[in-house]
Amino acid sequence: MDYGHSERPSDAAPLPTAIKILIAGGFGVGKTTLVGAVSETRPLRTEEVLTESGVGIDDLEGVETKRTTTVAMDFGRITISDDLVLYLFGTPGQDRFWFVWDELALGAIGAVVLADTRRLADCFPSIDYFEGRGTPFLVAVNCFEGARRYRLDEVQAALNLDPEVPVLLCDARQRESAKEVLIMLVEHAMKIRAARRAD
Amino acid sequence: MQSVAEIAAHLDLPVGAVRVLLGDLVARNLVRIREPHLTVGPTEHSIFEAVVNGLRAL
């Protein structure tokens, strides 16, 4: 039997498995910061600096120090091993870019909803979205300097979250904190998938 | 392996344009694609554990 010479020897090498996690939340809540804190490279992004007309459209109250916003998406990559790569996709912060979400959410194992207690309502749309799609998610309260701290149960109640949804405090700038958030999300997603299989 | 988003960022092109380009390359067997879907079952569990362990080791 003659199998011949493979024209594409690269076919023999197995492709790594890609795992996708979404980082969602309101405008200026620290999504890009969180991605950057754990990504092996600087977050890649399609970003436009807001012009004066943009400032008029976006509600900047409570995010005084933020000068630019991500209008498309930003993402990072963590190579776990030769056969496993984790991608972090920041979702667009502004409602008018939500058309990007459906594609982003495809195949994602779960989502981190970042919350800022000064603008807690900003994460309602993200929560609604993931609840609607059945995407496992948790809420990570980014502890901004000068922001009033709330107890986690207060946040849980204010967001009317299912008691199974994990809520934790984080500092999106800190690598260890961002790692903890992602680990908790993956463990939560594992639990949910196991429960769904059991049903 | 690169995600479509990565390729778009490196080329500084819109994702939609890159997707069309990649579609042509796929049709010519010049690139392979892997959908980010997990196989269900014990493999899935071990992948999740590998992700958790990998994150801890960062």
Mean pLDDT for all residues in chain B? 84
CB pairs under 8 A between A and B: 88
Residue A9 has pLDDT above 60, yes or no: no
Centre a 10 Å sphere on the Cβ of residue A51 and count the other Cβ atoms it contains. Answer: 9
List, for residues A143-198, the tens digit of each pLDDT value.
877 667 788 899 999 999 999 999 999 999 999 999 999 999 999 999 999 898 88
Write down the pLDDT at residue A1: 47
Whether B5 and A45 have beta carbons less than 8 Å apart is answered as no
* B6 close contact with A: CB closer than 8 A: yes
Amino acid at A110: G
List, for residues B36-54, the tens digit of each pLDDT value.
656 655 678 889 999 999 9
Which structural domain range is residue B37 located in?
4-56
C-alpha distance from residue A46 to each of A74, B2, B31 (Å): 6, 16, 24
Residue B15 has pLDDT above 80, yes or no: no
CATH of A13-198, one of 3.30.70.20, 3.30.450.40, 3.40.50.720, 3.40.50.300: 3.40.50.300
* A96 close contact with B: CB closer than 8 A: no
- Of residues A123 and B39, which shows the higher confidence score? A123
List, for residues A75-122, the tens digit of each pLDDT value.
899 999 988 999 998 877 665 556 556 666 778 899 999 999 888 988
Chain B residues touching A175 at Cβ < 8 A: 58
Write down the pLDDT at residue A74: 80
Chain A residues touching B40 at Cβ < 8 A: 197
Region A54-62: mean pLDDT is 52
Q: In what order do the strands lie in the sheet with A44-48?
A: A44-48, A69-81, A84-90, A17-25, A108-115, A137-142, A167-170
Distance, in Å, from the CA atom of A109 to the CA atom of A137, rounded to the nearest integer, reads: 9
Residue A17 has pLDDT above 90, yes or no: no
Look at residues A164, A162, A121, A170 and name the one whose alpha carbon lies nearest to residue A141. A170
State how far residue B26 is from chain A, nearest Cα, in angstroms: 14
State how far residue A107 is from chain B, nearest Cα, in angstroms: 5
Write down the pLDDT at residue B3: 81
Structural domain count of chain B? 1
Residue A48 has pLDDT above 50, yes or no: no
